Chains A and B, each alone.
Chain A
């Protein structure tokens, strides 16, 4: 009799443990999925009006592009306001970002295709530059310039993107691209690698507004 009770208790404990395990797994996976969706804390998944898969978008979409002035690889200071009246693709990238290497040739191709319609592209490097060490600064700039040359980037590459990252929503994932219309409004964003077709659609949207 005692043994039967013991077996029943063990059986109940096993079932309880299995249920608890299942529940813990569910909670953990739910939390992990939430964290994954918040890879960009300031972004959210929104439905594609064209019926495509939901996309990560920045809350900056629909707002005026934050102003900035940064130095390019040649030491020239470039401001967003210099491009007033143009459609601007602002592409945040880094030399350590492999998806950026895949995306850059598409951006170059699209820039060449739509330049006659007033499209300008600006790349902003998110590579760390230690401005406290002059020797290192030159070395780090050279490293960025070398990769930009390898990728045949024909448009300006600005440095010290970290200094404007808060204005642009934190920029915790590369590549991050902002599509700015002629009025200086961000009409679309792309966080992470997309497709060439998707980038082109966003450029067309910016050109049309």
Chain B
């Protein structure tokens, strides 16, 4: 069955290349058109700025990829305690 499918595939190279090109075109439209447009919307722009200001990369896989961790770890080291120092949060 697998071999048969491969034979069918190999007999239709134009179809396979067309599929690839169509998908790549769709990706180009999404990444170069749709996503920049979404990023330019006021609410999204505000959200992206909010994340940037705090050094947060939501796609970070490990804590070493988060810029925000520097300040947090510095604070932890400085207080040499178990959690955040309340004095640094007068609003709380």
The answer to whether A and B come from one shared complex is: no
A interface residue numbers (CB < 8 A to B): none
List the interface of chain B (C-beta within 8 A of A).
Answer: none
